[in-house]
Amino acid sequence: MNRIILGRTGLAVSVLGLGAGGDSRLGSGRVAEAESLRLVRAAIERGVSFIDTAEAYGTEELIGKALREVPRDRVVLSTKKTTRLDAPLRPEDVVSSLHASLERLGTDHVDVYHLHGVLPDRYADLRERIVPVLLRLREQGKIRFLGITEAFAADPTHAMLAQALRDDLWDVVMVGFNLLNQSARERVFPLTRAKDIGTLIMFAVRRALSRPERLRELLADLAARGKVARALADEGLDRLLVGEDVASLPDAAYRFCRDEPGAHVILSGTSSVEHLLENVRSIEAPPLSARARERLVEAFAQVDDVSGH
């Protein structure tokens, strides 16, 4: 498995990260617990060393069980505190939530602790009232690095991260980036690279890049709004990948994200060991050709208002 340094954290991590959120996350649907445990262990056996979860996902306990016999220093653990609540988040809630996460994960510290899904109009308040709590928890050794994640489906233009990256508080950010919406290239990555902030890439592949009918709907909408060429809506993305040795559109999408300057860990959420191994092969595959990347960049140059969900 390819490895990379996660920005200023100095952590050496796998380029593919196991994401425990999303529609097809481990433990979802009717997937038996034993299969989910097998999935986490299979990921580790294949060299995946970065695992991301959150209290909101309901997967921390599964991950804790799967890692019970794994040396703690073999895995970088990332989890999150929900911020999209009806009432303002209280400092004491952060402390109790972190302690509960640590108990479920079976560890005395998390490597990266995020404020989760922060909306643009909530950022300033969370910075003033909640960040001091995170800093104290870091001083106590319960958190190693501070992170923040955007709500990409609601904030596809990265308005929240535009605020957060002006502050020198965050060691890691989670940002939406995929071949349909590449706006982070101009709006996020120059800032994270300048400050050596680690990046976790979410939405590399979601419904639009894994379900042909959803992609057709999205491309038709984008073409109707003048965001992409009509020919692209009519013919799909295959014509942009002519001559490329790709197993599937998701394969191309993972490789596209992996090779983006400024991208560190590409998150993959799945409940299937077979699917996980397909994504591992994509991360380990050769790069797309320069010409294919140029075609993909040019085709979606005007798009910044979709997530690909």
Catalytic residues: 57
Report d(CA 284, CA 265) in Å as an integer: 13
Print burial letters for 65-87: b (CB count within 10 Å at least 16), e (below 16): bbbeeeeeeebbbbbbbebeeee
Q: Which two tokens stand for residue 87?
A: 């009432």
Q: Which two tokens stand for residue 195?
A: 């400050």
Going from the C-alpha of 257 to that of each of 37, 107, 204, the distances in angstroms are 27, 31, 7
CB atoms within 10 A of CB 11: 22
Q: Are 191 and 160 in contact (CB under 8 A)?
A: no
CB atoms within 10 A of CB 119: 15
User: If residue 208 lies in a helix (H) or strand (E), which one and from where to where?
Assistant: helix 207-210
Report d(CA 46, CA 17) in Å as an integer: 11
Q: Which two tokens stand for residue 168?
A: 């020198």
Instruction: Give CB contacts under 8 A, 24+ apart, made by 183-186.
Output: 183/156, 183/157, 183/158, 183/303, 183/304, 184/158, 184/262, 185/260, 185/262
